[in-house]
A and B are shown apart, each in its own frame.
Chain A
């Protein structure tokens, strides 16, 4: 389950960054990957659709929301937690 969350999230981020999933590294930030604020909002939408979850995120205060977007790995962990919370 956990691996599939990771693969799906990385797939979504890779698509947004126009990269192969294998080129997306866990420690990279979205900025490193060239994803801007509009790309971020689109990625979060894709994550919500893919996992049928609600992601708490306000573009006005991205650092203050509970959803950690500081790196690819952080996003994967945040999505795993939301899936566990909302689907468990």
Chain B
């Protein structure tokens, strides 16, 4: 089996439009959740979110591109540009034939759907722009990355709600580990902070009106965010031979299905995914120093996640650190695992553990070390990233310091 390393990372998310800005936000424990600035917000009962602020599409894309790129595709392309630029790779010849792109998204071109439904239903128009379908389709972002960078190998989009990015990155990892490809571009993107997107989530009554406070006894729900993160996964020898900077090694991945409930999480399903990732990476529970939690800030998730971690790690559960950065950037749904992987890499590479902010009151059902409110310096050798999706689909990645 081949070893897999990360040689590039890029992002645009509520905390920043680049990796350094984002890491600074994570270190400072900055909250990027605030009042939503979207059309018809006054008709929503949930009016907060983690929006990407100060973003002007025209600064990055021409008119023809904007006509074809939904916001989730724009975010993906910006993140991919940073990641591939950092990796220093150009794709031609044989490498181009095998390198591909696997991305996660849940809603795809939700803004495009929202705008065009509005146009035909509310404004009564009978004609829509010819690019509606290629703009809204879930694989649009993956396809545009492949076209922009000449990636001609295995390429597809994974849609498993809140676990989409982790499932996508797991696939990219396996494609390299098994020898199918030497380089994969992977990660995820989401942009559903539009009227219809928020309205749909409101219906479920799991959203907070005032903030995301994972693991804190006074939490009252999740807050949505938007954005993207993209990584370059590369076969270790290939990266070494060209002297590439290695940010971290991907050492394990596991996925499970609860097969029980369409929205309620399962302690067993989550625990099986966590222990599966350890087994896949040939690690012992004691090796894990940090877990980036799924940590949505809902009563159901946080309790279940803490119980699952306690089940898998036993006494070591009280010694490891587990934080939810959703408290800062919100829940990026299909893109969330990708943005959260940045926090895992920061823990391994820089020895800085991103905090769980908004932590006010201990909850007897969540007694782990959630790195409350303030970032911490600590040497971590192995980190896990949890994602547990609606529909009971779980995906956990294991990364090691390199």
Contact = CB atoms under 8 A, between A and B. Distances in A.
Q: Size class of B's contact patch?
A: 10 to 19
B297 to A, nearest CB: 8
Nearest to A64: B220
B400 interface: no
Interface in A1-56: 37-38, 41, 44-45, 54
B366 to A, nearest CB: 14
Interface in B193-230: 203-206, 208, 219-221
A45 B219 contact: no
B99 to A, nearest CB: 42
A59 B297 CA distance: 12
Contacts of B205: 41, 44, 57-59
A38 B220 contact: no
A38 B205 CA distance: 10
Nearest to B209: A58
Contacts of A37: 263-264, 300
B73 to A, nearest CB: 32
A61 interface: yes
Contacts of A54: 45
A38 B263 CA distance: 8
B299 to A, nearest CB: 5
Contacts of B299: 59-61
B204 A60 contact: no
A32 B388 CA distance: 29
A26 B79 CA distance: 56
B298 interface: yes
Interface in B309-332: none
Contact of B206 (A44, A45, A60): A60
B240 to A, nearest CB: 48
A27 B28 CA distance: 52
Interface string B25-68: 00000000000000000000100000000000000000000000
A58 B263 contact: no
B120 interface: no
B220 A61 contact: yes
A54 B225 CA distance: 26
A54 B208 CA distance: 16
Interface string B233-260: 0000000000000000000000000000
A59 B46 CA distance: 14
A38 B391 CA distance: 13
B220 A58 contact: yes
A45 B263 CA distance: 17
B262 interface: yes
Contacts of B263: 37-38
Interface in B270-300: 298-300
A31 B45 CA distance: 28
A38 B262 contact: yes
Given A41-B205, A45-B203, A60 B220 contact: yes
Contacts of A60: 206, 208, 219-221, 298-300
B251 to A, nearest CB: 35
A58 B208 CA distance: 8
A44 B219 CA distance: 22
A45 B205 CA distance: 10
Nearest to B263: A38
A60 B297 CA distance: 9
Contacts of A61: 220, 299
Contacts of B219: 60
A38 B299 CA distance: 14
A37 B300 CA distance: 11
B101 to A, nearest CB: 35
A59 B203 CA distance: 10
Contacts of A58: 205-206, 208, 220-221
A57 B203 CA distance: 11
16 contacts: A37-B263, A37-B300, A38-B261, A38-B263, A38-B264, A41-B205, A44-B205, A45-B203, A57-B205, A58-B220, A59-B204, A59-B299, A60-B206, A60-B219, A60-B300, A61-B299
Interface of B: 45, 203-206, 208, 219-221, 261-264, 298-300
Q: When A and B form their complex, which 9 residue pairs have the shortest distance between CB atoms, in order from nearest?
A: A59-B205, A60-B299, A60-B221, A60-B220, A59-B206, A60-B298, A41-B205, A61-B220, A58-B205
Given A38-B263, A60-B206, 12 more contacts: A37-B263, A41-B203, A41-B204, A41-B205, A44-B205, A45-B203, A54-B45, A58-B206, A58-B208, A60-B300, A61-B220, A61-B299
